[in-house]
């Protein structure tokens, strides 16, 4: 019997990836209230908000999810006795978050997270046993890992809608203005285009972390309790 978390993320991923051409973030036919899109009842009221104006919200949503994930990864590294890696991970994450984010900083964040994920998955795959302290760190990682992944899944439609708006603004800028517009929207375009693969990867990773936690005799409900999935 599938767990609540598997059912939840299956439903969410079906909803996200059922959007036509999602791999390239095709147009959404409906707005997403509360996620950067205008409510249907507000259509036609006032001037539309440009992609450049909305870009900050795209970056904030993405960074918010990754802050949770970075915190979870640090705890998981400690759970498997990789204290030095955890310290390095924390230092690099702090350096990235302390800067004004541009595309290069986002690339570094993705690479940092990927390196941590590989180290953690290697321990899970070889069935490493957790010590008593390791179990405490592992248990503590479940809430931020679940929340960060949940935020990313919710971010998918927001990013898709924004990318559609960005493409329209670039087209409207004309041949002479398109290059300048792309430069202004550079970080948002990069994040939006990377998001489908990131969402899929972390949904898979979360299931792996939860499954391993259960095999270690841990209560994994913290991975979903903050999302109304109990």
Q: Which tens digit of pLDDT belongs to each residue from 217-226?
A: 999 999 985 5
Beta bridge partners of 33: 37
- As a whole number of angstroms, the distance between CA 133 and CA 136 comes to 5
Q: Is 29 exposed, middle or buried (0-12, 13-18, 19+ CB in 10 A)?
A: exposed
Unique residue bearing structure tokens 């390196």: 115
Beta bridge partners of 37: 33
Which pTM value belongs to this model? Answer: 0.76
Q: How open is the CA angle 5-9-14, to the nearest 5 degrees? A: 150
Q: Residue 146: which pLDDT band, with cuts at 50, 70 and 90?
A: very high
- Helix, strand, or coil (residue 5): helix
- As a whole number of angstroms, the distance between CA 144 and CA 142 comes to 6
- The answer, yes or no, to whether residue 19 has pLDDT greater than 80, is no
Q: What is the mean pLDDT of residues 162-180?
A: 93
H/E run at residue 152: helix 132-172
93-129 residue pLDDT tens:
888 775 567 888 899 999 999 999 999 999 999 998 9
Total count of residues recorded for the chain: 230
How crowded is residue 189: how many other Cβ atoms within 10 Å of its Cβ? 22
What is the pLDDT at residue 98?
58
What is the pLDDT at residue 224?
85
């Amino acid at each position: 019997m599938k767990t609540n978390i598997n059912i939840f993320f299956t439903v969410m991923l079906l909803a996200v990836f059922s959007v036509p051409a999602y791999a390239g973030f095709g147009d959404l036919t409906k707005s997403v209230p509360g996620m950067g899109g205008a409510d249907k009842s507000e259509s036609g009221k006032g001037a539309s908000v440009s992609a450049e104006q909305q870009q900050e919200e795209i970056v904030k949503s993405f960074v918010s999810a990754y802050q949770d994930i970075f915190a979870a990864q640090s705890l998981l590294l400690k759970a498997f006795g990789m204290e030095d890696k955890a310290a390095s991970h924390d230092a690099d994450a702090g350096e990235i978050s302390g800067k004004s984010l541009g595309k290069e900083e986002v690339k570094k964040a993705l690479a940092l997270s990927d390196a941590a994920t590989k180290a953690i998955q290697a321990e899970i795959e070889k069935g490493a046993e957790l010590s008593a302290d390791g179990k405490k760190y592992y248990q503590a990682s479940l809430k931020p890992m679940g929340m960060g992944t949940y935020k990313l899944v919710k971010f998918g439609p927001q990013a898709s809608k924004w990318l559609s708006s960005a493409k329209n603004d670039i087209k409207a800028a004309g041949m002479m203005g398109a290059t300048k517009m792309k430069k202004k929207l550079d970080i948002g375009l990069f994040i939006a285009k990377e998001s489908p693969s990131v969402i899929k990867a972390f949904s898979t990773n979360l299931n792996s972390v939860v499954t391993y936690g259960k095999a270690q005799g841990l209560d994994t409900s913290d991975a979903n309790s903050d999302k109304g999935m109990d």
